[in-house]
A = this chain, B = another copy of it.
Amino acid sequence: MNPRRRKDSLKTRKKLLNAAIKVFSKKGFRDATVIEICTLAGANVAAVNYHFGSKEALYREAWRYAFLESLKKHPAPNEDESLPPDELLKAHIRSIVYRVSDPENREISILFKEISNPTGLLDEVIEEELTPLKENTEKLLKRLLGPYVPETEVKFSAISIVSQCMNPLLFQRAKKTDELNDIQDVDAYVEHVFLFSLLGIQGIRAKYENREP
């Protein structure tokens, strides 16, 4: 009835966050139930409202928490100008693919659900966290594409690369089918995306440079 462990109770908040991330990433906001989260966290049903005020607030906190954890685990490549741009590109691609492929990385899973089926609850949080990532990508691409390529093309290229990197997630769920053995070897996929994109980038750069006198 009352097996209270004080040390544990101090961590209830954190346990709730971890449980929430798992459940939200598996089921999405609506399908996840507070009861399930609390049970998984070994806490009372009222714990969510006590610690976070509402399911919605927990959702926001959980994503933010997961996002920060994710960044810790897969740090964005250092924008060290001394690195050759090619290496930088590969590091960038690897960083995204790793984060996306890491089955422990629920943050991306939540983000993905949110994008495809928005609750609107993460709009601000996401904006706030993702904008810098986007800008870094475009900055790197500007270096790789050179000065003659128009802005539009830079953005399109950024989309091309990010799309390929995020793709594993798209089919992650279909794991039951063997479709996803496709990307079984994550490193090989990174190599592919790197090569495929580098060639594309170089070709586009050449196209616009040849135009110039």
Contacts and interface: CB of A to CB of B under 8 A. Distances in A.
30 contacts: A27-B117, A31-B117, A112-B116, A113-B116, A115-B116, A115-B171, A115-B174, A116-B173, A118-B173, A134-B179, A152-B185, A155-B182, A156-B189, A159-B164, A159-B167, A159-B183, A160-B164, A160-B192, A160-B196, A162-B167, A163-B164, A163-B167, A195-B200, A195-B203, A195-B204, A195-B207, A196-B200, A197-B200, A199-B202, A199-B204
Interface string A30-73: 11000000000000000000000000000000000000000000
Interface of A: 27-28, 30-31, 112-113, 115-118, 123, 127, 134, 152-153, 155-157, 159-160, 162-164, 166-167, 169-171, 173-174, 176-177, 179, 182-183, 185, 188-189, 192-193, 195-204, 207
A107 to B, nearest CB: 14
**For the complex, would chain A's binding face be called helix, strand, loop or mixed by DSSP majority?**
helix
Copies of this chain present:
4
A202 B195 CA distance: 11
A136 to B, nearest CB: 15
A199 to B, nearest CB: 3
Contact of A31 (B30, B176, B188, B195): B30
